């Protein structure tokens, strides 16, 4: 018999105690605590059982992703080092922030364009949720000629913030990051889920142009940056009830944050026991 993934076994065992059930519904439980759980799972991955860690623990059905997002949107903690960008919604031109311990000035144009990108992705069905199992990051790039003329000689400390004010900046978003793509699911997909998968590679522009959905990878994977662009850095975003920014989508307000600190949270923190225990709305 194939052994179950270690982290799924841990989550199943923990969910059988009333104490941990209470912890899962505690609105104060932070994202950092989730990552601590993920860290424990990574340590345990050295065991022989972890050697058989199955791909299924990293991929979820559309219904499971929706259930996990209900928890994050209603009770989940904020991301690490969110930008203090609230003033961008009230007409400010820029705001002070800290990036890797250095004080920087971030233009609100960057935040406003990211907000536009996210809303448009939700509107067209390229993304459904703003969290790690769907959409939570973007990679930044500029045209090669712009890179050569303006940025190639800047230091690594200067580059990230300098790029944020570039009108020719481009962001490559990958969505549906942990959506199952197995044959069984494809046979029962509805049209919206199929469209979600096909639109999982999206270019966002910072000069007002509409989104560009890139052709899908034949095997459903995320694609790289198109030719002619030089990629450098990126950012994360996450929906949470205490987020500073807001998107109104289909008469629903979504609070979220943006961070320049690229994170890759372990999707195993949204184990099967959680995605199946949260009731669907």
pLDDT of residue 59: 78
**β pairing state of 170-174 and 229-239:** unpaired
Residue 272 lies in a domain: no
- Asked if 246 and 114 sit in the same domain, the reply is yes
* pLDDT tens-digit map of 101-150: 888 899 999 999 999 999 999 999 999 999 999 999 999 999 999 999 99
* pLDDT tens-digit map of 141-172: 999 999 999 999 998 888 988 999 999 999 99
Residue 165 lies in a domain: yes
Region 264-273 average pLDDT: 45
Residue 160 lies in a domain: yes
pLDDT of residue 272: 40
- Asked if 49 and 168 sit in the same domain, the reply is no
Residue 270 lies in a domain: no
**pTM of the prediction?**
0.72
Plot region of 146 (φ>0 → left; ψ -120 to 50 → alpha; else → beta): alpha
- Asked if 166 and 212 sit in the same domain, the reply is yes
- Asked if 55 and 91 sit in the same domain, the reply is no
Residue 273 lies in a domain: no
Q: What is the extent of the structural domain holding 54?
A: 6-59
For residue 52, pLDDT over 90 is answered with no
Highest mean pLDDT among 22-31, 143-152, 210-219: 143-152
Q: Which of the pair, 54 or 204, is modelled with greater confidence?
A: 204
Q: Which of 42-46, 196-200, 205-209, 277-281 has the lowest mean pLDDT?
A: 42-46
Confidence category of residue 2, pLDDT binned at 50, 70, 90: very low
For residue 234, pLDDT over 50 is answered with yes
> Rounded to an integer, what distance in angstroms lies between the CA atom of residue 274 and that of residue 281?
15
Instruction: Give the DSSP letter string of 1-27.
Output: -PPPPHHHHHHHHHHTSHHHHHHHT-T
- Asked if 36 and 94 sit in the same domain, the reply is no
Region 27-40 average pLDDT: 39
- Asked if 133 and 241 sit in the same domain, the reply is yes
pLDDT of residue 9: 32
- Asked if 114 and 211 sit in the same domain, the reply is yes
The proportion of the chain whose per-residue pLDDT surpasses 70, expressed as a percent, equals: 69
Residue 193 lies in a domain: yes
Q: If we measure between CA atoms, which residue out of 171, 169, 109, 115 comes closest to residue 142?
A: 169
- Asked if 127 and 258 sit in the same domain, the reply is yes
- Asked if 249 and 127 sit in the same domain, the reply is yes
- Asked if 104 and 242 sit in the same domain, the reply is yes
Residue 247 lies in a domain: yes
Residue 94 — φ and ψ, nearest 5°? Answer: -160, 175
> Rounded to an integer, what distance in angstroms lies between the CA atom of residue 234 and that of residue 117?
14
For residue 70, pLDDT over 50 is answered with yes
Q: Are 71 and 31 in contact, with CB atoms under 8 Å apart?
A: no
Residue 206 lies in a domain: yes
- Asked if 42 and 170 sit in the same domain, the reply is no
Tally the domains of the chain.
2
pLDDT of residue 25: 38
- Asked if 98 and 189 sit in the same domain, the reply is yes
């Amino acid at each position: 018999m194939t052994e179950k993934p270690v982290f799924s076994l841990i989550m199943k065992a923990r969910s059988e105690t009333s104490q941990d059930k209470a912890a899962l519904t505690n609105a104060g439980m932070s994202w950092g605590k989730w990552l601590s759980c993920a860290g424990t799972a990574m340590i345990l991955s050295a065991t022989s059982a972890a050697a058989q860690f199955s791909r299924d623990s990293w991929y979820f059905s559309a219904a499971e992703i929706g259930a996990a997002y209900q928890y994050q949107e209603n009770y989940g903690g904020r991301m690490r080092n969110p930008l203090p960008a609230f003033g961008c919604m009230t007409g400010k031109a820029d705001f002070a922030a800290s990036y890797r311990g250095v004080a920087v000035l971030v233009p609100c144009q960057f935040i406003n364009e990211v907000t536009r990108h996210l809303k448009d992705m939700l509107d067209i069905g390229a993304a459904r949720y703003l969290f790690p199992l769907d959409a939570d990051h973007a990679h930044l790039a500029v045209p090669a000629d712009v890179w050569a003329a303006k940025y190639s000689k800047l230091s690594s400390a200067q580059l990230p913030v300098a790029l944020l004010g570039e009108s020719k900046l481009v962001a490559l978003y990958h969505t549906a990051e942990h959506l199952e793509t197995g044959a069984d699911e494809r046979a029962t997909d509805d049209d919206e889920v199929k469209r979600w998968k096909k639109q999982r590679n999206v270019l966002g522009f910072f000069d007002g142009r509409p989104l560009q959905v890139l052709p899908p990878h034949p095997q459903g994977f995320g694609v790289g940056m198109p030719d002619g662009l030089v990629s450098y850095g990126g950012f994360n975003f996450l929906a949470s009830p205490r987020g500073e920014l807001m998107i109104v989508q289909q008469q629903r307000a979504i609070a979220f944050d943006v961070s320049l600190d690229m994170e890759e949270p372990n999707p195993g923190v949204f184990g099967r026991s959680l995605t199946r225990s949260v009731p669907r709305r």
